[in-house]
Amino acid sequence: MAVYELNNGQLLRVARSINGKLEQEYFSLIGLNKTRQAGVRRDAKALDKKWQEAQESARAKRVREASTDKKHSTGVRGINLVRRPSPAFRVQVQTKGKSHVREFSVKRLGAEKAWRQATRYLAECRGYKSAPKAWNDRMPKVKRVR
C-alpha cells in the first residue's frame, strides 16, 4: 500500500509511480472528528487502489511491448531465435515462479507457423487472452532451411 502517514498522523500521502511519472496527493486530517478522518482514510485508500491498477496496467503494457536488441533476439521479450543444426524459436519465460521453455522448429513447421505458435505459447504463459498484434509484425527473417 502506498498510503503514508506524515506529521504524527496528521497528514496522509498517497504516492505511486505510473509510467515513470510520480502521482501523489496529500490528505489532511487536522481538525476532523473520528468519522470524518475515517472517511478521508477511505478516500485515500480508494485513490491508492485506483493508481495501483493503473500502475499494474502500465507495467503489463510495457512488458507486452518491450523489445530487445541482442543478436539472437526476435524483438519480442521472451522469444529468441536459436540455431541448433536448424533454426528454432525458443520461448523462455517465468511466471509465478515457474519456468516455461519450449522450442518451435522452423524446419519442421515453417517460419510463419513456428512464429505464430511461439507467440501464442508466450501469450498463454503470460495469461493474455491472445497474442498482441504487434508481435506478428516483429517476426524476424529466417533463412530458408531444406
Domain-ending residue, one of 44, 64, 84: 64
Under the banding of pLDDT at 50, 70 and 90, the label for residue 76 is: confident
| 145 domain-assigned | no
Q: What is the pLDDT of residues 14-33, one digit of tens each?
A: 999 998 899 999 999 999 99
Q: How many CB atoms lie within 10 A of CB 131?
A: 21
Domain that holds residue 18: 3-64
- 23/48 same-domain check: yes
- 29/82 same-domain check: no
Whether 89 contacts 81, CB under 8 Å = yes
**C-alpha cell read off for 67:** 523489445
In this predicted structure, the answer to whether residue 69 has a pLDDT above a threshold of 70 is no
- 76/57 same-domain check: no
Name the CA dihedral angle for 4, 54, 116, 83, rounded to a multiple of 10 degrees. Answer: -30
Domain-ending residue, one of 64, 96, 116: 64
- 49/101 same-domain check: no
| Residue keyed to cell 516483429 | 138
- 72/54 same-domain check: no
Q: Which has the closest alpha carbon to 122: 55, 57, 40, 66?
A: 66
Q: What is the pLDDT of residues 106-140, one digit of tens each?
A: 989 988 899 999 999 999 988 888 888 888 877 78
26 versus 95: the higher-pLDDT residue is 26
